[in-house]
Amino acid sequence: MPPVTTEIPNVALRALIERSDYVAAQEWLEERPVWEVADSLDRMDGVDAGIAFRLLAGDRALDVFEELDAATQEAVLDVMRGNEFRDFVDALDPDDRARMVGELPATVAQRVLAGLSPEERAMTATLLGYPEESAGRYMTPEVVRLKRTMTVGEALAHVRLFGPDADTIYTLPVVDKQRHLVGLVDLGELVLANPDSPVTDLIVTEPPRVHATEPAEVAARLMADSNLVDLPVVDAADRLVGLLTFDDADEVIEEADSEDAAHQGGSSPWSGHYMAVSVLHMARARVIWLVLLLAVSLLTVTVGYHFEEALEKVAALAIFIPLLIGTGGKVGTQASSACVRALAIGEVRPSDAVKVLWREARTGLLLGAGLGLLAIGAGIIFADASVAIVVGISLLIICLLGALVGGLSPLAAKKLGIDPALVSAPVVTTIVDVLGLIIYFLVASLVLGL
């Protein structure tokens, strides 16, 4: 036993919890031997024991949990399932709350979640350390686990025994004694196999898996790519916590794609059915981006204001503004939407930035050259040759620029940890509007000597 035990007496933990000194309590819990922590918890009751337990980190929490009296184990699980503890944690200041919502080890998490309805599960997920939109929030903990030592017949008997309580039995995870994920057995293959052969013959080892705190969208896309009906969800120590089923994954993908679509349309995502949300709610989801972009658009006004003299001298310049910046915005939108989608489905990674820029630059130049020629024709018809040349050169540069802005922005967003889908057509066109206008007036000043 380390000498510290004599410095802080045994009763201290309860006292520390009671006076809400969670920093000291966490220190105490880290320093004391497991049996002493368990013993202290056994003497506490209700929410206090729950709090103390939640202050323990990862593997240590598991060690302590296993050392607890059966009654205290139940009490701690009950506390974490209950409203009282939830209300208590909600009321904490953020620092203390963060101390108390570290990820629980799989064994305990699963026992907390077992028997809860999906709604209760969602509410409890925060307390287990699973962030919003994480795989842990969508998974089902009620699965049938197999052991490596079983025969096919034993495994089937095991499935018949525990299957009725499980949410899915299509996929049967195989775990070792410490609950580490060993592999997966497919129910179909189990049914078709010889009952006497060992289950190890059927195990798919090293299956794809996600960590419970990872985003559910990542998990769902991984599932779609790996053609699994159910994807194993593990804790930080690779212990099985549950399975993400294909129907939950479908839901996650539909939500994610709807969110991306809203972002790509230049509005915040709204919650709910298009026909059901209120007009005010819809306007609120849209107005933020509009005001933000209007502020940026004011730069076009200042650019125009700066070149007002040039516009007074050659009024014909004004009539090509919508065509030029509009086309630039379109080239930019094509590039950005292609990159956003490629990022979403994993075809492009932020490290590909240089290659993407090089691709988009060449595409932009190709498009700009073709459209520039068409624009020169229009310039000759509606103005004169000199304006036509200004319009043609400007369009070439604006297309190149649009493609570069469109290609680079989603990658930059991703690198900055922002959702690339936020790089929408409205965002790209606004940037290209401002830059395009500057280019147009600069080219005009140079060519026409204004």
HSE-CB at 337 with a 13 A cutoff on CA atoms is: 16
Nearer to a copy of itself, 228 or 234 (CB): 228
When binding is defined by CB under 8 A, the residue of 98, 122, 374, 418 that contacts a copy of itself is 374
Q: Which of residues 430-449 bind a copy of itself (CB under 8 A)?
A: 430, 433, 437
**Tokens found for residue 281:** 């709610």
Identity at 27, one-letter amino acid code: E
Q: Is the dihedral of CA 367, 373, 375, 376 positive or negative?
A: positive
Closest distance between a copy of itself and the C-beta of residue 311, in Å? 5
Closest distance between a copy of itself and the C-beta of residue 123, in Å? 23
When binding is defined by CB under 8 A, the residue of 61, 64, 80, 425 that contacts a copy of itself is 425
What is the C-alpha to C-alpha distance for residues 353 and 298, in angstroms, rounded to an integer?
Answer: 30
**Tokens found for residue 103:** 């990820």
For residue 234, which of 158, 173, 150, 159 has the smallest C-alpha distance?
Answer: 173
Closest distance between a copy of itself and the C-beta of residue 130, in Å? 23
When binding is defined by CB under 8 A, the residue of 38, 51, 100, 375 that contacts a copy of itself is 375
When binding is defined by CB under 8 A, the residue of 49, 182, 216, 339 that contacts a copy of itself is 339
Closest distance between a copy of itself and the C-beta of residue 418, in Å? 18
Residue 351 sits in the site that holds a copy of itself (CB under 8 A): no
Closest distance between a copy of itself and the C-beta of residue 383, in Å? 8
What binding mask, one character per residue, do residues 74-93 give for a copy of itself by CB under 8 A, x or -?
--------------------
Identity at 156, one-letter amino acid code: L
Distance linking the first and last C-alpha atoms of the chain: 87
For residue 364, which of 323, 392, 389, 332 has the smallest C-alpha distance?
Answer: 332
For residue 173, which of 225, 270, 243, 82 has the smallest C-alpha distance?
Answer: 243
**Tokens found for residue 435:** 């830059």
Radius of gyration of the chain (CA): 30
Spatial contact of 230 and 240, defined as CB atoms under 8 Å apart: no
Q: With contacts defined by CB under 8 A, name the span among 67-75, 106-114, 145-153, 338-346 that binds a copy of itself.
A: 338-346
What binding mask, one character per residue, do residues 219-258 give for a copy of itself by CB under 8 A, x or -?
----xx--x-x----------------xx--xx-xx--xx
Spatial contact of 365 and 400, defined as CB atoms under 8 Å apart: yes
Q: How many residues bind a copy of itself (CB under 8 A)?
A: 102
Q: What are phi and psi of 343, to 5 degrees?
A: -70, -45
Nearer to a copy of itself, 92 or 365 (CB): 365
When binding is defined by CB under 8 A, the residue of 352, 357, 386, 450 that contacts a copy of itself is 352
Strands 230-234 and 210-211: parallel
Closest distance between a copy of itself and the C-beta of residue 207, in Å? 15
When binding is defined by CB under 8 A, the residue of 26, 124, 140, 264 that contacts a copy of itself is 264
Q: Which of residues 157-216 bind a copy of itself (CB under 8 A)?
A: 159-160, 163-164, 168-170, 187-188, 191-192
Q: Which of residues 271-330 bind a copy of itself (CB under 8 A)?
A: 273-275, 279-280, 282-283, 286-287, 289-291, 293-294, 297-298, 300-305, 308, 311-312, 315-316, 318-323, 325-327, 329-330
Nearer to a copy of itself, 141 or 266 (CB): 266
Nearer to a copy of itself, 237 or 253 (CB): 253
DSSP string, 281-299: HHHHHHHHHHHHHHHHHHH
Closest distance between a copy of itself and the C-beta of residue 34, in Å? 40
Nearer to a copy of itself, 40 or 336 (CB): 336
When binding is defined by CB under 8 A, the residue of 367, 387, 404, 411 that contacts a copy of itself is 367
What is the C-alpha to C-alpha distance for residues 182 and 175, in angstroms, rounded to an integer?
Answer: 5
CB atoms near residue 437 (< 10 Å):
24
∠ at Cα 129 (127, 131), nearest 5°? 105
DSSP string, 96-124: HHHHH-SPPPHHHHHHHHTT--HHHHHHH
Closest distance between a copy of itself and the C-beta of residue 7, in Å? 57
Nearer to a copy of itself, 102 or 163 (CB): 163
Spatial contact of 143 and 167, defined as CB atoms under 8 Å apart: yes
CB atoms near residue 160 (< 10 Å):
11
Q: With contacts defined by CB under 8 A, name the span among 41-49, 68-76, 122-130, 344-352 that binds a copy of itself.
A: 344-352
What is the C-alpha to C-alpha distance for residues 99 and 40, in angstroms, rounded to an integer?
Answer: 19
Nearer to a copy of itself, 88 or 382 (CB): 382
